[in-house]
């Protein structure tokens, strides 16, 4: 017998998880907070702005009431975008019934530089909490392509619970206790993916991209370990795995944005897209953290200058290549 699972957030990630879990015979309740979006979802059974062409099964209950969803379910999955995460947890606070909760939202909060689990624990006890991350491009999950991901929790029992709940022939789950590392990897890879897209836009080749991603991983490890993550986590699914996916996939919003910076310009690209580019505020967050703690992150600095100081991508590449020579 499957579980009743509430998914908070009906973007691409939320819908792909709904499709995956519905096939595992769980009863899925999908929450969309905006009335107009909810009405479109009910009418068309798809998110026409953010996940066009992917149909939501009719067995999935779509709701505009978070109270209704939380009251019905045994398990909660939070996948709203990072900018709305705090507001969502505030809403959840007075409705929560001590269900196991998994956070699938990636990123850092723009104003506080906090991870999603840190925000969650401002309002609710984290004993039943886990986080999910890894190479999980939503379109491929929805289409049933096999992948693997990692679930991290301080509570090993909760980690194993979610591992058994979600794992299947299409989605293999590993467990970890390193919540910090899993969350930092899932956020930082978006910064590096923007640069990967810039490299694609400039047609600089695989040597350039391989060198760039290797040094980008080095920056992820440097800031991640400083913030309390374990180095092995960043070399795993939620670090290197997610970094590779996000830096190569044609469905990657952050990589596509980087390519768009070169081909049509940042402002023009942002006017045309309805997608959320998490890497933009995340770049600023990690740049701020690096300056606050005196951590050298040259690639992050270059991406920051391109995004916030209108830096020229080719000049930034030259700056990176000609900076002081060092040991690996």
* Catalytically annotated residues: 189
Query: What is the rounded CA–CA span in Å between residue 280 and residue 278?
Result: 6
Sheet holding 4-8, edge to edge: 61-63, 27-31, 4-8, 75-78, 101-103, 129-133, 147-152, 171-176
Beta pairing, strands 75-78 & 171-176: unpaired
Cβ neighbours of residue 174 under 8 Å, at least 6 residues apart?
A: 148, 149, 150, 151, 163, 236, 237
Q: What dihedral do alpha carbons 117, 119, 123, 127 form, nearest 10°? A: 10
Cβ neighbours of residue 106 under 8 Å, at least 6 residues apart?
A: 82, 116, 133, 183, 186, 187, 190, 278
Residues 300 and 226 sit within 8 Å (Cβ to Cβ): no
Tokens of 210: 């391989």
């Amino acid at each position: 017998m499957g579980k009743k699972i509430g998914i908070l957030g009906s973007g691409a990630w939320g819908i792909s998880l709904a499709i995956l879990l519905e096939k595992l015979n769980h009863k899925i309740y999908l929450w969309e907070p905006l009335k107009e979006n909810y009405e479109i979802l009910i009418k068309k059974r798809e998110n026409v702005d953010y996940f066009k062409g992917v149909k939501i099964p009719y067995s999935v209950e779509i709701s505009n009431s978070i109270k209704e969803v939380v009251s019905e379910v045994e398990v909660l999955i939070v996948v709203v975008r990072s900018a709305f995460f705090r507001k969502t947890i505030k809403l959840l606070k007075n409705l929560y019934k001590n269900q196991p909760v998994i956070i699938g939202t990636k990123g850092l909060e723009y104003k506080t530089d906090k991870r999603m689990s840190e925000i969650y624990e401002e309002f609710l006890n984290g004993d039943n909490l886990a986080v999910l991350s890894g190479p999980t491009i939503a379109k491929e999950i929805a289409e049933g392509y096999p992948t693997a991901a990692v679930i991290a929790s301080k509570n090993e029992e909760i980690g194993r619970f979610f591992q058994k709940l979600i794992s299947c022939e299409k989605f293999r789950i590993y467990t970890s206790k390193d919540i910090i590392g899993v969350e930092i990897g899932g956020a930082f890879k978006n910064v590096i993916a923007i640069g990967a897209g810039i490299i694609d836009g400039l047609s600089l080749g695989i040597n350039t991209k391989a060198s760039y991603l290797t040094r980008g991983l080095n920056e992820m490890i440097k800031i991640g370990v400083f913030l309390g993550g374990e180095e092995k986590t960043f070399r795993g699914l939620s670090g290197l795995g997610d970094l590779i996916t996000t830096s190569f996939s044609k469905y990657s919003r952050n990589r596509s944005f980087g390519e768009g910076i070169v081909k049509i310009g940042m402002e023009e690209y942002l006017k045309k897209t309805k997608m959320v580019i998490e890497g933009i505020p995340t770049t600023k967050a990690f740049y701020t953290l690096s300056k606050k703690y005196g951590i050298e992150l040259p690639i992050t600095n270059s991406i920051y200058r391109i995004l916030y100081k209108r830096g020229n991508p080719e000049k930034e590449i030259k700056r990176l290549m000609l900076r002081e020579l060092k040991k690996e």
